[in-house]
Amino acid sequence: MLINTVRLRKTSASRMLFFKYQRPDNLAFSMLRNGEIYFASVDELNDASECRPRFVFRGSEELWQRLAHYILFEACLSSDYFRPDRMDAISGILNISNRVGTSLKKAAGNKDIGIEKLNSLFIAALEEHLADEKQDFSRGFVTHLVRNYIQAVLPRAVKEDKFIASFSLNATNPTMWGHYSAAERGFLVVYDSPDESIHVHSPINLLHGSRPSKNMEGCTEIGTYRDEHLGLEQVDYGRRPPKVNAFHRLIHKFSYSEEEDHYDVPLLIAGDAAEKKEALVGLVKYSDWRYEKEVRAFFPAYNSVLPDGRVLQVDLANMLGVVFGPRMSNEDKARAVLCCHLLVESRDQGAVDRKEMMFFQARQTIDRFDFDILPVGALDKHYLSGHLPVKPVSKLDPEDVKRFQSVARSIAESGSKRPAGNQKGEQGGGGQPATRSESI
């Protein structure tokens, strides 16, 4: 998992609030009932430019030589002409890979070579050195295979799977409520964290991670686990995708001798490839998305994971409560409350300190496109037919009332810091929760 050290704005010295906008549909209520979040693949996200890096090549002569060998070998294998009984023909082509790589390094120098420019450079170097070889294969056919491979296959070879759970630091943005909560008919799940992370759980060992070894003091073990604390990383907004040195995506795919593997050559030559902004892939979006104030958690996996495996449970300690949308129906509010009740009952069976869940109401303000956040009440332990398990704010202890009002204020103020680019003098967001409360 990639780590970004951007600090997130907290609502207090010990708490950071973050939010998940939800539509009032069966899937959203089911996720709330089970305390789940879904990690979407890049193709499932609503921005076609998601996780799109700017691939470049920049490295040592040895890396260019290994790249030439890799491309020539893979391109030849893509054709039936180079079937197993004609592998000697491939050997003849691979004999020139070092010379092709040297020519590529000479042409590239110490500049970044975009992946879109690689084809013309590679074909020029290939044709130069193929002319020196006397083989029984068509040189034009080989260049055709290489050209097709670089255009169609290589971009997929450098692509990296990422699975993302998205949250917002803004609970009072009208555009967000419109886009992601069915025009204010949905709700907001409120999460909090004392350490800028979210604790997730899988029923099976599926989460890649590391932790102190139980068997060897002072050592760290790496493996797959059921539980993990995932760092919340803040999205940056701009007009250019982050640069990625494509060599770092290919080094582990290059061919190595047994001796090279023994002496960790793949790890050593990685230092020959200049670091770019690999850690920012998935954390840079086009500037027009700035209003989302998005933070993300990444599924900790190093290979593809089927969608069903990417549904993880969130620890109850990270779940604070629910904000009802201004246009949410009473029936849907009741469903949300019941889902929270079922969630706590299923997780906190026999617990001495039962998990508290807070409920709030978002209400449109009169003179601004904004929202007040009003305390509603706390989840009650007792559920009776026709009676929702909610203890109204009016029946809470005075200290609890102050605490609910403080949280409501923090939720409202989450939108007070507007994205850059607003007109000078524009009013900040976040209505005043004051001392009022709301009932369901």
DSSP 163-188: EEEEEES-S--HHHHHHHTTTTTSEE
Tell me the average pLDDT across 247-264: 94
Share of the chain above pLDDT 90, in %: 72
pLDDT band at 425 (very low <50, low <70, confident <90, very high): very low
Tokens, residue 46: 């609503």
How far is Cα 36 from Cα 17, in angstroms, rounded to an integer?
Answer: 17
Residue 8: pLDDT band with limits 50, 70, 90: very low
**347 with 316: CB under 8 angstroms?**
yes
Place of tokens 């027009």: 288
Report how far apart, in Å, the C-alpha atoms of 51 and of each of 85, 109, 157, 383, 396 are.
42, 28, 15, 45, 46
Roughly what angle, to the nearest 10 degrees, separates helices 115-130 and 139-148? 170
Task: Show Cβ contacts of residue 41 under 8 Å, excluding neighbours closer than 6 positions.
Answer: 161, 162, 163, 307, 310
Closest Cα to residue 293, out of 418, 422, 427?
Answer: 418
pLDDT tens digits for range 303-342: 889 999 999 999 999 999 999 999 999 999 999 999 999 9
Please state the domain extents for the chain: 16-51+162-239+280-413, 54-160+244-276
Tokens, residue 171? 């609970």
Q: 278 with 245: CB under 8 angstroms?
A: yes
Interval 123-181: pLDDT, tens: 999 999 987 766 656 788 889 999 999 999 999 999 989 999 999 999 999 999 999 99
